Amino acid sequence: MFYALSGVRVLEVGEHISAPFCTKFLAGLGAEVIKVERPGQGDSARREGPFPNDEPHPEKSGLFLYLNTGKKSITLNLEAREGKKIFLDLLRKADIIVENLGAGVFDGLGLSYPHLERINPQLVMTSISPWGQTGPYRDYQAEDITIQAMSGAMYQQGNPEREPVKSGGSISHYRVGASAFAATLMALHHAENTGEGQFVEVSSMEVSVHDDFFSVELYMARKVITTRQKAVLMLPCKDGWVYFRVFPHEWPRFEKLLGFDIEQDERFVTMEQRRLHAQELEALVLPHVRERSKEETYHWAQAAKVTAGYVANVQDVVESQQYRSRRYFVSIDHPIAGNLAYPGTPVEMGDIPWRHSRAPLLGEHNAQIFGGLLRYTREDLVRLRQTRVI
């Protein structure tokens, strides 16, 4: 079976979410992804939950297990001289490095791209950082909330009468991981076609600004600042919330579904009018949904080709007929965490299967990579372990 990325070797020197999310997709597409983790502690995601029964264990973190499917793990101390040497040996046999240790960290380790490029001219090196490798904020700290705030997204989200509120989870980290994925594969395409590798820089703040809807353009054109607003037609059903986000061309269908003449009603002709008369509009729609369940309402609207959705919680998602029939959730066995269901892949690559094998134990592939690939002897490995290089 030839996978889209068969024969591609990736070194991930990644922590937490962004780089691992990027390389999770590379692994799913068939690349050999080797995580280079710090001896002893490994990826910080191993220490972050969720854990089964909330009992922390470095091999049982749900975040880590989920983000690192399909990968191998080696441990290597990049600060030690010998660790660096091994890393350079490994690099000769790799196509891609993806790292997110922070702006300038690789340079500080003596592993800057110009240096690495001399050893492997085809190497693609992708560096993900919150702010990018240059600029006045380069060395600033950031968590997900910092990026959501600085990118302009958060200001637009929430109750207009209250403080802005971030999107749940750590979505800015996932976003930048997706951009790194696309950019890395572009650079790989170039490297394989021309023999020329390059450095790929990805900035989380910039990716989040890029991903904003239209607030920047609106401000540039009209000096209007997009702020928080209540969603029109987010309505309570019997058991939750349903949201109608009806495309302009669907309004005649929506009107028919509701049995009245929205389109001819001056109050609702344009999106702006609908927003101005939101309360009246909602009062007209509410009786149609109040007695229905959220899923019933969703099917009722969608069957008439009116775009609507319900606010699904994680249980709703897991139990959704759509996800189930597509076998989106996959069951993966793990020697320590046991057999668990995981979110699968949102991608179908024709008939090529997605690679979903379990996440690696810390340093699980040391012998395979150092011994097999790099031909270190058993004595070398013992010594390296004793000196805490691996």
Partner 1 sequence: MAQTKPIGEGVRVLDLGMFWAGPTCTSLLADAGMEVIKIEACRHPDPDRITPQGLAYVNNDPGQDPWNRGLVALRRHRNKLGCTLDLTTPEGRDLFIKLVRISDVVVENFRLGVMERWGLGYSALQRENSQIIMVSVSSSGNTGPEREYGSNAPIVACLGGLLSITGYTDEASLFVDITTPDPLAGTLAAGLVMAGLRYRKHTGKGLNIVLSQRELVTNIIGEFIMDYFMNQRIAGPSGNRHPYMAPHGCYPCKDEDSWITLAIRNNEEWLRFCQVLGVPELASDPRFADGVARWHHQDDLDSIIASLSRSYPPHELMGRLQREGIAAGVVQTARDVVNDPHLASRGFWETVSHPRFGPHAFKGRGFYFSKSPVGTRSPAPCLGEHNSYVFGELLGLSPEEIARLEEKAVIGTVPSLEVRGRIPSLRSGVNP
Looking only at residues 334 through 353 of this chain, which bind partner 1 when binding is defined by CB under 8 A?
Answer: 340-350, 352
Residue 101 CA to residue 10 CA, distance in Å, equals 16
The nearer residue to partner 1, 221 or 259, going by C-beta atoms, is 221
Which range, of 46-54, 103-111, 259-267, 357-365, touches partner 1 by CB under 8 A? 46-54
Phi-psi region of 296 (alpha: psi -120 to 50; beta: other; left: phi over 0): alpha
Using rule CB under 8 A, residue 20 touches partner 1? no
**DSSP helix/strand/coil, 145:** helix
Minimum CB separation of residue 251 from partner 1 in Å reads 11
Cβ neighbours of residue 370 under 8 Å, at least 6 residues apart? 74, 86, 376, 380, 381, 384, 390
For residue 240, which amino acid is it? Answer: G
Please say whether the dihedral angle defined by the alpha carbons of residues 110, 123, 17 and 1, taken in this order, is positive or negative: negative
Q: Please list every residue from 109 through 168 that binds partner 1, using CB under 8 A.
A: 113, 131-132, 134-137, 140-159, 162-168
Residue 239 CA to residue 218 CA, distance in Å, equals 37
**Interaction pattern, residues 52-91, with partner 1; x per rule: CB under 8 A:** xxx-------xx-xxx------------------------
Q: Please list every residue from 299 through 318 that binds partner 1, using CB under 8 A.
A: 302, 305-318
Minimum CB separation of residue 368 from partner 1 in Å reads 25
Using rule CB under 8 A, residue 108 touches partner 1? no
Q: By CB under 8 A, name the one of 187, 237, 362, 390 that touches partner 1.
A: 187
Using rule CB under 8 A, residue 106 touches partner 1? no
Using rule CB under 8 A, residue 287 touches partner 1? no
Using rule CB under 8 A, residue 231 touches partner 1? yes
Residue 71 CA to residue 10 CA, distance in Å, equals 10
Using rule CB under 8 A, residue 192 touches partner 1? yes
Using rule CB under 8 A, residue 254 touches partner 1? no
Q: By CB under 8 A, name the one of 185, 285, 362, 390 that touches partner 1.
A: 185
**DSSP helix/strand/coil, 108:** helix
The nearer residue to partner 1, 29 or 78, going by C-beta atoms, is 29
Q: By CB under 8 A, name the one of 217, 239, 261, 263 that touches partner 1.
A: 217
Residue 216 CA to residue 231 CA, distance in Å, equals 20
The nearer residue to partner 1, 249 or 375, going by C-beta atoms, is 249
Residue 242, φ and ψ in degrees, nearest 5: -130, 145
Q: By CB under 8 A, name the one of 265, 328, 371, 374 that touches partner 1.
A: 328
Which range, of 99-107, 192-200, 284-292, 370-378, touches partner 1 by CB under 8 A? 192-200
Q: Which helix (H) or strand (E) holds 297?
A: helix 294-303
Residue 172 CA to residue 148 CA, distance in Å, equals 7
Q: By CB under 8 A, name the one of 194, 279, 368, 387 that touches partner 1.
A: 194
End-to-end CA distance of the chain: 33
Q: By CB under 8 A, name the one of 79, 93, 218, 372 that touches partner 1.
A: 218
Which among 374, 359, 367 is positioned nearest to 390, based on CA atoms? 367
Q: How many residues make contact with partner 1 (CB under 8 A)?
A: 156
Q: By CB under 8 A, name the one of 205, 237, 384, 390 that touches partner 1.
A: 205
Q: By CB under 8 A, name the one of 80, 84, 89, 241 that touches partner 1.
A: 241
How buried is residue 383: exposed, middle or buried, by Cβ count under 10 Å (0-12/13-18/19+)?
Answer: middle
The nearer residue to partner 1, 90 or 207, going by C-beta atoms, is 207
The nearer residue to partner 1, 12 or 250, going by C-beta atoms, is 250
Q: Which helix (H) or strand (E) holds 19?
A: helix 18-28
Residue 55 CB coordination number (10 Å): 8
**DSSP helix/strand/coil, 135:** coil
Using rule CB under 8 A, residue 360 touches partner 1? no
